[in-house]
Structure 1
Amino acid sequence: MTIDSNEVVLDVQGLTVDIRTPRGVLHVVRDISLQVKRGETLCIVGESGCGKSITSLSMMGLLPKTATRNSRVFNFLGEDIARADKHRINDLRGNRMAMIFQEPMTALNPAYTIGDQLTEHYRHHKHASAEEARTRAVALLEKVGIASAAERLGQYPHQLSGGLRQRVMIAMALMCGPELLIADEPSTALDVTIQAQILRLLADLQAELGIAMVLITHDLGVVARIANRVAVMYAGQIVEEGLTKDIFASPQHPYTRGLISCIPIPGRTIPGGKLGTIPGVVPSLIGEIKGCAFKDRCASAQERCSGEIPLRKTALGQQWRCILEHEEIAR
């Protein structure tokens, strides 16, 4: 299979998502921009509450009714889906764009068999017969490493382990052969051994099928194993973005440095010793946020952090939002 690694599958520029709440407007995603090319894995990483999951839901058009999405550019394979009607979005979603949700036990319907849930949207999008859909489902269950795949089709979600349910979710996302796969914390609810298996499976399938993948996670260990590029998200904004090797070798934003300092390092982190932490909490996103949202937690904060924050870039394309140049940031 020939993969055009320069083809941009998803191009989002200036994305904002606001949610109306009784306390005011929640600015959960604030002017973010990102691109994902065919065969590439982009990891969006950050603490809980930073807007990662809402970003993924906005890409799929699955935001709650109280949410408003705006953007300068929102293209999928060159098509402006921001202006597409509901029928067109429904045609793309689950077909050419697919999502693996965070918790398979709640994403799968307990009242329907695995087979029914795997084949329903395939028959709808591909106008396939029940036998064709069943054959496709069995083949994909086998591809994701599920033994006795044909027998599994008659089972219900509660009859499967967490790891098997997650594999079913991956197979379901791949049923229609999508060109964009969004995975929201796909290994969070699994034990460490199963996590590694799921991540390896996703990486193998992505490389084999040439899918553009957006992986949402808070685990930098996951990022190091699977990502081509990383977007670090904080308080609804992407504060740093670049190649994975550059982010880990030379993090530029103080928040990125804080996240990396929290990773235990074999041979250097003392067993039973204190792990790194970032003091403070993510600020409220209700109302206006002036300047850098990280300033109250940052060791390098200055008065001018309350003003306009420039976007800085390196010659290799790594970019970050901070008033300080690389050499000025406190380590």
Structure 2
Amino acid sequence: MALLEVEDLVIDIPTAMGTLHAVGGVSFALERGETLAIVGESGSGKSLTSLALMNLLPKRVQRKAAKIAFDGQDLTTISQAGMRRLRGNRMAMIFQEPMTSLNPAFTIGDQLTEALLCHRKVGMKEATDRAVHLLEKVGITAAGQRLRQYPHQLSGGLRQRVMIAMALMCGPDLIIADEPTTALDVTIQAQILHLIADLKKEFGMAVILITHDLGVVARVADKVGVMYAGRLVETGTSRAVFKQPRHPYTRGLLDCIPVPGRTQPGMPLGAIRGQVPNLIGRLDGCAFRNRCDFAGPECAADIPLVRTGADHEVRCARLDATEVAA
């Protein structure tokens, strides 16, 4: 049995202009010890999907799903109290911007120990010792002194490491990392990614990595889900998707990445023409067809995910044309 199973996840947001269909029919499964990367442009529904799994969506946002099961437990019917027992305990999240996720009025130590004191029958000394241990584990020196500091006294890289340590406090089975390297410089990004990969192996966790950076995905992910306009348009193992991308959107994303030895200085990088369609109201057919060089009349119909290999599925009506162009 998979650790996490999601079937037909739908997220709708009522607006003054109509219902915004932010996420439509997303399905995936995640095994223990695996890393799933969900990639796509800003606004594609990646972060909303992660918040839906943690049941952290705003009240006015409507979440529906045929199934959201965590270790066999149905998260679509679980009570708020039951969800609070899971959050921060067996399911943890590393948010995109640590400065807005950490409370500026409390010390690092207070915020690190809170989850352990809430979910485990431990005293303050044991919780503090655990906090120091994990701060050292994520590469923070003088960990005992850091516990007395406030978030504004730490750099962006250190705050992100604190967020990772906080997520690990209760030894979760699943960590959701929502663009954990967006606000960091390139050197720190690499350190954080290596850190997450090492900790995953050490603690045997499953990881969902939300990102728009395919370079990141290639280094750390076992499986990839490419998301566009609220729908998964291509899924598969990292090797299958990178070796033979089939959806035009996936190819467009990969073309935007400079390749050492092939992309010469001064050469223009690839770009995807057009813009993401308005998701308010009814949206028929492939949402990418207004930006796609292969679009045809058949793209206006509903398009299911089609299996193109043992570990590869694509939502495209023009697979014959894209294969010829590959």
Q: TM-score range by the shorter chain?
A: over 0.9
Give 1:91's aligned residue.
Answer: 85
Note if 1:287 corresponds to 2:278: no
Give 1:4's aligned residue.
Answer: none
Which residue type is aligned with residue 280 of structure 1? G
RMSD: 1.0
Corresponding residue to 1:310 among 304, 317, 320: 304
Q: Is the 8 A contact 2:246 2:322 kept in 1?
A: no
Which residue type is aligned with residue 91 of structure 1? R
SS in 1 for 2:3: strand
Alignment of structure 1 residues 141-152 onto 2, 5 Å: 141-152=135-146
Corresponding residue to 1:275 among 269, 276, 280: 269
Note if 1:161 corresponds to 2:178: no
Runs of 4+ in 1 over 6 A off after TM superposition: none
Q: TM-score, normalised by structure 1?
A: 0.96
Note if 1:250 corresponds to 2:244: yes
Q: Is the 8 A contact 1:252 1:326 kept in 2?
A: no
Q: Distance in 1 between matches of 2:132 and 2:162?
A: 11
Q: TM-score, normalised by structure 2?
A: 0.98
Cα deviation for residue 124 of structure 1 reads 0.7
Corresponding residue to 1:201 among 181, 195, 203: 195
Q: Distance in 2 between matches of 1:261 and 1:235?
A: 19
Deviates more, 1:309-318 or 1:68-77: 309-318
Cα deviation for residue 51 of structure 1 reads 0.3
Q: Distance in 2 between matches of 1:49 and 1:123?
A: 36
Q: Distance in 2 between matches of 1:186 and 1:28?
A: 22
Could you give the per-residue CA deviations for residues 51-93 of structure 1, whole angstroms, max 9, x where no partner exists?
A: 0000000010000111011111110001111100000000001
Q: Distance in 1 between matches of 2:53 and 2:266?
A: 41
Deviates more, 1:264-273 or 1:97-106: 264-273
Cα deviation for residue 148 of structure 1 reads 0.5
Corresponding residue to 1:265 among 254, 259, 262: 259
Corresponding residue to 1:46 among 40, 50, 64: 40
Cα deviation for residue 26 of structure 1 reads 0.9
Alignment of structure 1 residues 1-331 onto 2, 5 Å: 7-326=1-320, 328-329=322-323, 330-331=325-326
Stretches of structure 1 that go unaligned for 5 or more consecutive residues are: 1-6
SS in 1 for 2:309: coil
SS in 2 for 1:164: helix
Cα deviation for residue 308 of structure 1 reads 2.0
Task: Give the aligned length.
Answer: 325
SS in 2 for 1:208: helix
Cα deviation for residue 24 of structure 1 reads 1.3
Q: Distance in 1 between matches of 2:278 and 2:322?
A: 28
Q: Is the 8 A contact 1:141 1:168 kept in 2?
A: yes
Q: Distance in 2 between matches of 1:207 and 1:282?
A: 37
Identical amino acids, percent of aligned pairs: 59
Deviates more, 1:281-290 or 1:195-204: 281-290
Cα deviation for residue 327 of structure 1 reads 5.4
Could you give the per-residue CA deviations for residues 120-168 of structure 1, whole angstroms, max 9, x where no partner exists?
A: 1210111321111101100100110100000000000010011100000
Which residue type is aligned with residue 203 of structure 1? A
Q: Is the 8 A contact 2:91 2:174 kept in 1?
A: yes
Q: Distance in 2 between matches of 1:84 and 1:328?
A: 43
Q: Distance in 1 between matches of 2:15 and 2:124?
A: 44
Q: Is the 8 A contact 2:69 2:75 kept in 1?
A: yes
Stretches of structure 2 that go unaligned for 5 or more consecutive residues are: none
Which residue type is aligned with residue 217 of structure 2? V
Which residue type is aligned with residue 282 of structure 1? V
Q: Distance in 2 between matches of 1:249 and 1:170?
A: 31
SS in 1 for 2:246: coil
Q: Is the 8 A contact 1:41 1:215 kept in 2?
A: yes
Could you give the per-residue CA deviations for residues 257-312 of structure 1, whole angstroms, max 9, x where no partner exists?
A: 11111110011112122110000111111111100000000000001111121321
